[in-house]
Amino acid sequence: EVQVVESGGGSFQAGGSLNLSCSISGYPFENFCMTWFRQTPGQEREGVASIHTLGQTYYQRRKKGRFTITQDNAKNAMRLEGDSLELEDSAMYYCAAGAPYGGECPLDAWAMSYWGKGISVAVSS
């Protein structure tokens, strides 16, 4: 059974930083994509950043520069660090796992096979 578990959500100040963690266990293949998505009410789930277990990273263009995705020492774990937080960063953040497509990790929800339950991030002024 594949398990995807997020942690690190909560309340944050605008201009501050966040550090979200995700661990994935039981994935049936050695190499796969680990991806962060976020979603606000009434909006589609959007990809923020992804990391292949071999280390290649992918970012949504508008998020690159403020968000950094890294692998933990445990291969099937990752972190999402965010700086200069904005009110618009408030959302449910989801960790997901899925197969690469053409060797790359698409930032698309349809490409993910397994999802965490999500964690809330609330940014206030």
What residues form DSSP beta bridges with 47?
37
Task: Name which of 120, 107, 116, 121 is nearest 49 in CA terms.
Answer: 107
Distance, in Å, from the CA atom of 38 to the CA atom of 10, rounded to the nearest integer, reads: 14
Q: Supply the mean pLDDT for the chain.
A: 94
Q: What is the pLDDT of residues 45-63, one digit of tens each?
A: 999 999 999 999 999 887 6
Distance, in Å, from the CA atom of 48 to the CA atom of 33, rounded to the nearest integer, reads: 13
Q: Is 70 exceeded by the pLDDT of residue 64? A: no
Phi and psi angles of residue 110, each rounded to the nearest 5 degrees, phi first: -65, -20
How many residues make up the chain in this entry?
A: 125
Which pairing describes strands 46-52 and 77-82: parallel, antiparallel, or unpaired? unpaired
Q: pLDDT category, 114, cuts 50, 70, 90?
A: very high
